[in-house]
Amino acid sequence: MSTLVKIKIDEKEYEVPRGRYLLAICQENGIPIPTLCHHESVEPWGGCRLCVVEFRKKRWDSWWTELATACLYPAEDGLCVWTRSEKVMKARRTILDLLLARCPGSEVITKIAAEHGVYQTSFAKREGEDNCILCGLCTRVCDRVGARAIATALRGALKEVSTPFGEPPPDCLGCLSCAHVCPTHTIGHTEADGKRTVWGRTFELVRCSGCGAASVTREQVEYAVRTKNLSPEYFVKCDACKRRESAATFAGLLFDERKGGEGPVGPTGSGPSHE
Amino acid sequence: MQRLTSPDALEKLRAELAGKRQAIKKTVFVCCGPGCLANGSRKIADAIGLQMEKQKVDASVGYRRCTTGCHGFCEQGPLVIVQPGDIFYCKVKPSDAATIVERTVKGDELVERLLYLDPGTKQRCKAFTEIPFYAKQTRVALARIGTLDPTDLGNAIASGGYASLAKALFTMKPDQVIDLVDRSGLRGKGGGGFLTGRKWRSCVKAPGDRRYVICNGDEGDPGAFMDRATMEGDPHCVIEGMIIGAYAVGSHEGYVYVREEYPLAVEYMQLGVDEARKAGLLGDNILGSDFSFDIKISRGGGAFVCGESSALMRSVEGKVGEPRAKYIHSVERGLWDQPTVLNNVETWATVPVIVQKGVDWFRSMGTKGSPGTKAFSLSGQVRNTGLIEVPMGVTLREVIFGIGGGLFKRRTFKAVQTGGPSGGCLPEDKLDLAVDFDELTRAGSMMGSGGMIVMDDRACMVDVARYFTAFLVDESCGKCVPCREGTKQLLALLTDITHGNATEDHLARIEALAATIMQASLCALGKSAPNPVLSTLKQFRQEYLSHIEKKRCPAGVCKPLTRFVIDEETCTGCGLCLKACPVDAIRGEKKKPHTIEPSKCITCAACREVCPVDAVEVAS
């Protein structure tokens, strides 16, 4: 991986690690590439196809030029890439046109489409009110978290993101990672009176013993305790309160030192003191 | 069966089985392929068995009844063959069992009425070797199908099974096997036509902890049944091919991916694997060598996309069957990210024959670029539907008119669809095209796995394109936007045309959308999804224009664009149409021209189907 190779992007030369994905290289070098299904916390996917670039390379005995998704294309020596060629822009426009037909109500899609000169769809609009573009980020992030509570169901035009059998998902932690990564903000969730609802299931939130704020669900706490080897005590107070206490502890220690006391006893372990 | 611990033990068993076979006076083969089974061949087999017992010509006195896989001539099924003599009975009924046993098994006479009637010569054919459908074929991968009981390993061994395996294991080095396959020029018969030897070599070169071999039995094209027939008719040739391949690339674990919709294929492959393992042909130390390899059967849920290699591998892993980008080939990083060789059923079935008979023999058939043979399933509006195998390079005309027997009475050839939903339609002027991987691709279609659907003048090419596109809309895995959303919109545009709602720019819009789907889709399914539309548009543009500009479907298929009339001069007033019409829309007196009442007609085309003189026409 550490071997450097020379590649050309939009006629400009770059020296990059072999095997590094083109999208990452472009992002590092300030070359704008649109994408809707990519997120740094999960493996590249190649579903939305918006990040297509045109490339030319030698395979077997002849030169090829075709489109490839930047998110999945590894850099190799002598690779030549164009990120805004006519072919690329035409493909991106058609893809956005198709997405706009799927989600005519999505502000995000409407905005990106307009940036590419697509102001309304030329295709038949889908009936239905959700803005899901099936980018798969929610299900992949859910897998990454380890809950695996949601997945895609069916295929083709009927494909959808679903909980098992369409019922409130038994394995959901209510962590809202899915909602946070959703590029079209289409995963609905509510929070009120110490309760959070997502995917048709209501979760009880754990209140901080210090400030009373509610930020994590009981399922999240139990999951973290079970899988991350944390003490249940860890979740008694919220992060903000823990920080506040740590700060106070440090201030106290400094104060003690100046007074020349018995010497500081640093905080032990990862959990802050609850004294 | 005892465990075979050396190649000599295998040969000894073979000699023993062959000796037993020599002693058999006559064998009655009953075809139990899918077509014949559906027409009750199991009952025929039972009836023949019963009659043989009753008439005292059973196993105890050297007679044998054998149920086999698909014999190929499905159109004429159920089929019964009596050996020796290649005696071929077609359209057999259970009630014919007594006569067949009495006259042909017990006696040496033929049952004239059950023999095949050659429509060309008007003669009855005594042996199947005289029937043009068989005489013009060259069977390599399908050679043993129809001559043995697929559920009996002994049958396969007696017919030469696993001899190639012994030859490869004990007289060749793995690299020599690859070299042999490479020099034979064998190309993957699942559709892509990639050189099998090159694929195997790439797998060997790729770094990995383990290597896998997979048999792709996820045949999903409408109208294709070659792989099914092979797995149901001769599972051991597939298994043998896989073991040889595994030995060549150094794999110890293989998978056969079969769709659950092929229950018999699943059952017989499983049975075959179990039997082979018991006999020491699979598992540890195969035939006493130091090579070990085993096969597992993996059942698919029937998604078309799982025929695509990377989706298939995900499915074997137990994940959702979605393809991944193949910028790194699956031969380098396939099943569980390890180097993997995936070949289609027919390819695996061909490997043992090449090992046995050599490169020169294999290259003596077919074309320079595509040596060997290819199996096709012939269906649609052709007389002899069925399963065939021909050398590469034969013309479409030879296949459709020579082997297929041409079209039905009064119908003319319009197009042949090859390559399944990813392929295309070829018109009459392409009939003299030599069928091989490169020629078909050049003509705008593709070989695909070998489905061949013949269409006559009553097929609407726009409707055909719409049908295949609808299939792909349902079968797209839905992972990437161009394929999922694009094919859906393509279908909407085509439906506009068939409903008469299209405007003049529809064709341009279809072409533009098709270009993006082809360029930007993730896998081969998406990249080839516009083929049915583009190939019909290229070859039958006029028909599209008629739908759009004249709002008329010339073939009389698209209902909103069709009005049937009866030609006064041709109509003989026979009254058949009048009886067939479900809505009483036809008026007329006997022996006088009839007429259709347009306000009542529902364009069901029943009258057109029954008219013996083709007087029912599409109004201009």
Looking at the DSSP bridge assignments, the partners of residue B387 are B377
Contacts of B521 in chain A (CB under 8 A): 49
Contacts of A152 in chain B (CB under 8 A): 320, 478
| pLDDT value of residue A253 | 83
CB B617 within 8 A of CB B410: no
Average pLDDT value for residue range A124-142: 92
Q: What is the mean pLDDT of chain B?
A: 94
Q: Which of B9-13, B83-87, B545-549 has the weakest average pLDDT?
A: B83-87
Task: Give the minimum alpha-carbon distance from B479 to chain A in angstroms, rounded to a whole number.
Answer: 5
SS3 A50: coil
Q: Is A238 on the interface with B (CB under 8 A)?
A: no
- Name which of A66, A99, A155 is nearest B519 (Cβ-Cβ): A66
CB pairs under 8 A between A and B: 101
Q: Which chain A residue is nearest to residue B490, measuring alpha carbons?
A: A123
Q: Is B307 on the interface with A (CB under 8 A)?
A: no
Residues whose CB falls within 8 Å of the CB of residue B135, separated by 6 or more in sequence, listed in order: B129
What would the two tokens of residue B72 be? 């190929």
Between vectors from CA A46 to CA A44 and to CA A48, what angle results, nearest 5°? 120
Please list the residue range(s) of chain B that carry CATH number 3.40.30.10.
Answer: 20-127
Please give the ipTM for the structure prediction. 0.89
* Residue A233: other Cβ atoms inside 10 A: 11
- Residue-wise DSSP of A198-220: ETTEEEEEEEPTTT--EEEEHHH
Residues B358-381: pLDDT tens digits? 999 999 999 999 999 999 999 999
- For B374-439, give the secondary structure using H, E and C: EEEEEEECCCCCEEEEEECCCEHHHHHHHHCCCCCCCCCEEEEEECHHHCEEEEHHHCCCECCHHH
Q: Tell which of A55, A123, A160, A162 to mutate to test the B interface (max B CBs under 10 Å).
A: A123
| pLDDT value of residue A275 | 38
Average pLDDT value for residue range A139-158: 93
Residue position matching structure tokens 């201030």: A251
Task: Give the minimum alpha-carbon distance from A76 to chain B in angstroms, rounded to a whole number.
Answer: 11
Q: Is A68 on the interface with B (CB under 8 A)?
A: yes
Please list the residue range(s) of chain B that carry CATH number 3.30.70.20.
Answer: 563-618
Burial of B505 from C-beta contacts in 10 A (0-12 / 13-18 / 19+): exposed
Residues A158-216: pLDDT tens digits? 899 999 999 999 999 999 999 999 999 999 999 999 999 999 999 999 999 989 888 89
What would the two tokens of residue B151 be? 């559920």
pLDDT at residue B608 tops 90: yes
Task: Give the minimum alpha-carbon distance from A72 to chain B in angstroms, rounded to a whole number.
Answer: 7
Q: What is the mean pLDDT of chain A?
A: 90
CB A118 within 8 A of CB A94: no
pLDDT at residue A270 tops 60: no
| pLDDT value of residue A47 | 95
CATH topology of domain B461-549: de novo design (two linked rop proteins) (1.20.1440)
User: What's phi and psi for B389, nearest 5 deg?
Assistant: -135, 130
| pLDDT value of residue A215 | 84
**Distances in Å between the alpha carbon of A259 and those of A252, A253, A262, A263, A267?**
11, 10, 9, 10, 19
Average pLDDT value for residue range B478-504: 96
Task: Give the minimum alpha-carbon distance from A200 to chain B in angstroms, rounded to a whole number.
Answer: 24
- Residue-wise DSSP of B511-558: HHHHHHHHHH-SSHHHHHTTHHHHHHHHH-HHHHHIIIII---TTS-S
| pLDDT value of residue B586 | 96
Average pLDDT value for residue range B144-159: 94
Are A91 and B520 a contacting pair at CB < 8 A? yes
Residues B239-265: pLDDT tens digits? 999 999 999 999 999 999 999 999 999
Contacts of B512 in chain A (CB under 8 A): 94
Between vectors from CA B474 to CA B470 and to CA B475, what angle results, nearest 5°? 115
- ω into B84 cis (within 30 of 0): yes
- Name which of A90, A134, A152 is nearest B516 (Cβ-Cβ): A90
SS3 A74: strand
CB A111 within 8 A of CB A119: no
Looking at the DSSP bridge assignments, the partners of residue B566 are B616
Average pLDDT value for residue range B392-416: 94
What would the two tokens of residue B503 be? 């405007």
| pLDDT value of residue A272 | 44
With a pLDDT cut of 90, the percent of chain B lying above it is 90
pLDDT at residue A261 tops 70: no
Please list the residue range(s) of chain B that carry CATH number 1.20.1440.230.
Answer: 461-549
pLDDT at residue A264 tops 90: no
Average pLDDT value for residue range A58-73: 84
Q: Which chain A residue is nearest to residue B513, measuring alpha carbons?
A: A94
Residues whose CB falls within 8 Å of the CB of residue A213, separated by 6 or more in sequence, listed in order: A207, A238, A240
The amino acid at A51: C
Are B473 and A159 a contacting pair at CB < 8 A? no
Taking the alpha carbons of A75, A78, A83, A88 in that order, is the dihedral positive or negative? negative
Q: Tell which of B468, B484, B513 to mutate to test the A interface (max A CBs under 10 Å).
A: B484
Residues B506-522: pLDDT tens digits? 999 999 999 999 999 99
Q: Which chain A residue is nearest to residue B485, measuring alpha carbons?
A: A98
Are B520 and A47 a contacting pair at CB < 8 A? no
- Name which of A45, A67, A155 is nearest B478 (Cβ-Cβ): A155
Q: Which chain A residue is nearest to residue B472, measuring alpha carbons?
A: A156
The amino acid at A274: H
Average pLDDT value for residue range A21-50: 96
What would the two tokens of residue B339 be? 């180097």
| pLDDT value of residue A262 | 52
B-contacting residues in A 44-63 (Cβ below 8 Å):
45-50, 52
SS3 A232: helix
Please list the residue range(s) of chain B that carry CATH number 3.10.20.600.
Answer: 373-456
pLDDT at residue B176 tops 80: yes
| pLDDT value of residue A274 | 44
| pLDDT value of residue A207 | 92
B-contacting residues in A 135-154 (Cβ below 8 Å):
136, 151-152, 154
- ω into B593 cis (within 30 of 0): no
Q: Shortest CA distance to B101 belongs to which of B173, B184, B45?
A: B45
CATH class of B153-361: alpha beta
Average pLDDT value for residue range B204-233: 94
**Distances in Å between the alpha carbon of B381 and those of A139, B90, B261, B363, B398?**
46, 20, 25, 33, 16
Residues B520-542: pLDDT tens digits? 999 999 999 999 999 999 999 99
**Distances in Å between the alpha carbon of A188 and those of A130, A176, A184?**
10, 10, 11
CA distance B148 to A118: 63
Q: Tell which of A20, A72, A98 to mutate to test the B interface (max B CBs under 10 Å).
A: A98
CB B616 within 8 A of CB B577: yes
Q: Which chain A residue is nearest to residue B517, measuring alpha carbons?
A: A91
SS3 B212: strand
Are B481 and A73 a contacting pair at CB < 8 A? no
Q: Tell which of B485, B493, B513 to mutate to test the A interface (max A CBs under 10 Å).
A: B485
Q: Shortest CA distance to A1 belongs to which of A53, A62, A76?
A: A76
More confident residue, B112 or A260: B112
CA A259 and chain centroid, separation? 49
B-contacting residues in A 111-130 (Cβ below 8 Å):
122-124
CATH class of B373-456: alpha beta
Q: Is A131 on the interface with B (CB under 8 A)?
A: no
Q: Is B319 on the interface with A (CB under 8 A)?
A: no
Please list the residue range(s) of chain B that carry CATH number 3.40.50.11540.
Answer: 153-361
CATH class of B20-127: alpha beta
| pLDDT value of residue A123 | 96
| pLDDT value of residue A271 | 46
pLDDT at residue B351 tops 60: yes
CA distance A71 to A51: 7
| pLDDT value of residue A259 | 59
Q: Which of A47-56, A251-260, B98-107 has the weakest average pLDDT?
A: A251-260
| pLDDT value of residue A258 | 61
Q: Is B513 on the interface with A (CB under 8 A)?
A: yes
- B87-89 and B116-117 beta bridge pairing: unpaired
- Name which of A49, A151, A158 is nearest B482 (Cβ-Cβ): A49
Q: What is the pLDDT confidence band of residue B67, given thresholds at 50, 70 and 90?
A: very high
User: Helix A86-102 to helix B506-520 angle, to the nearest 10 degrees?
Assistant: 110
What would be the CATH architecture of the domain defined by B563-618?
Answer: 2-Layer Sandwich (3.30)
Q: Record the pTM.
A: 0.91
CA distance B356 to B370: 19
Q: What is the pLDDT confidence band of residue A268, given thresholds at 50, 70 and 90?
A: very low
CA distance A17 to A6: 9
Residues whose CB falls within 8 Å of the CB of residue B606, separated by 6 or more in sequence, listed in order: B577, B580, B581, B582
pLDDT at residue A269 tops 60: no
Residues B452-479: pLDDT tens digits? 999 999 999 999 999 999 999 999 999 9
